[in-house]
Amino acid sequence: MAAQPTCFQEADPRLALWRRAGVEGAGTFFLMLAAGGGGIAAARVFAAVPGMILPITAIVIASALVALIVALGSVSGGHYNPLITMLQWLAGERSRGCTIAYMLAQFAGGLAGGIAAALLWGAPVGGAGGFGWHGIASEFVASAGLMLVVFGCMRSKRVETGPFAVGAWLIAAVIALPTTSFANPAIVLGAAVSAGPVALGGASLVPYVGAEIVGALLALLLLLLLFPRGAEA
């Protein structure tokens, strides 16, 4: 019997790795461009109503991610996030070579997207140094929640709902958490060289990424308990 298709997995893993990794790089680039550019635009348009900046930024980020997953996900799986790729490797669902290629492409895309957003808007690069322990805890929670949504959809074989579930979670997490829920090491890297509300100071890079990795690993442990091997829906 043929395996039932699932989301966040490429439709044809035999497709050349450079093509699949290229899609991951391009998708991460456009995701970071939308996050950075959307934040700058919202800050300028709603300068007199600062309370609107965060929800508008959340909608922009979630919309871009859903669109990119739906449009390109069949080629690469539509991760655009090293955490997803890393957990698939740890779960034995992706080879080491593919994992390395995807993650390199994702980091390169995030970096380029952050720079492009600042250049296109002519905005000064740089942001706050972070939120201390509150920021680290925020990224831990954001990453754990995102991975639970992503892999919960994968294990449930809900192919069509995966992108929209991720988008819905991101809108909620961006608004609810103090760091605007990066939950993505490639986007954190891009934010460190970008501008506007999503920009981060370099001091946030290591602690935020560390918190995201730990949050993702916790999510993997929970997923192993919730979806034991052979018991997926």
Indicate the SS3 state at residue 12: coil
Whether residue 172 has pLDDT greater than 90: yes
User: Which of 120, 79, 82, 74 minimizes the C-alpha distance to 103?
Assistant: 82
Nearest CA to 139 out of 191, 98, 91 is that of 191
| pLDDT exceeds 70 at position 129 | no
5: left (phi over 0), alpha (psi -120 to 50) or beta: beta
Q: Using the predicted structure, report yes or no on whether residue 139 has a pLDDT greater than 50.
A: yes
Give the whole-angstrom CA distance, residue 114 versus residue 123: 11
Cα separation, 180 vs 116, in Å, equals 20
How far is residue 59's CA from residue 204's CA, in Å, rounded to a whole number?
24
Mean pLDDT of the chain: 92
- Segment 95-128, tens digit of pLDDT: 999 999 999 999 999 999 999 999 999 988 776 6
Least Cα distance to 215 among 190, 179, 161, 167 occurs for: 179
**What percent of the chain has pLDDT above 70?**
94
pLDDT digits (tens, 9 = 90+) for 206-228: 999 999 999 999 999 999 999 88
Q: What are phi and psi of 83, to 5 degrees?
A: -65, -40
DSSP annotation string for 22-42: HHHHHHHHHHHHHHHHHHHHH
Lowest mean pLDDT among 54-68, 114-128, 181-195: 114-128
- CA 192, 97, 26: angle at the middle one, nearest 5? 45
pTM score: 0.94
pLDDT on residue 130? 62
Fold of the domain spanning 17-226: Glycerol uptake facilitator protein (1.20.1080)
Within 10 angstroms of residue 67's Cβ, the number of other Cβ atoms is 16
DSSP H or E stretch at residue 227? none
Helix, strand and coil content of the chain, in percent to the nearest 5, comes to 70, 0, 30
pLDDT in tens, 19-32: 999 999 999 999 99
| 165-174 mean pLDDT | 97
User: So what's the pLDDT on residue 159?
Assistant: 78
Q: What is the pLDDT of residue 133?
A: 87
End-to-end CA distance of the chain: 16
CB 169 within 8 A of CB 219: no
Domain spans in the chain, listed from the N-terminal domain onward? 17-226
Task: Say what the pLDDT of residue 166 is.
Answer: 97
The proportion of the chain whose per-residue pLDDT surpasses 90, expressed as a percent, equals: 82
**For position 157, what pLDDT does the model report?**
79
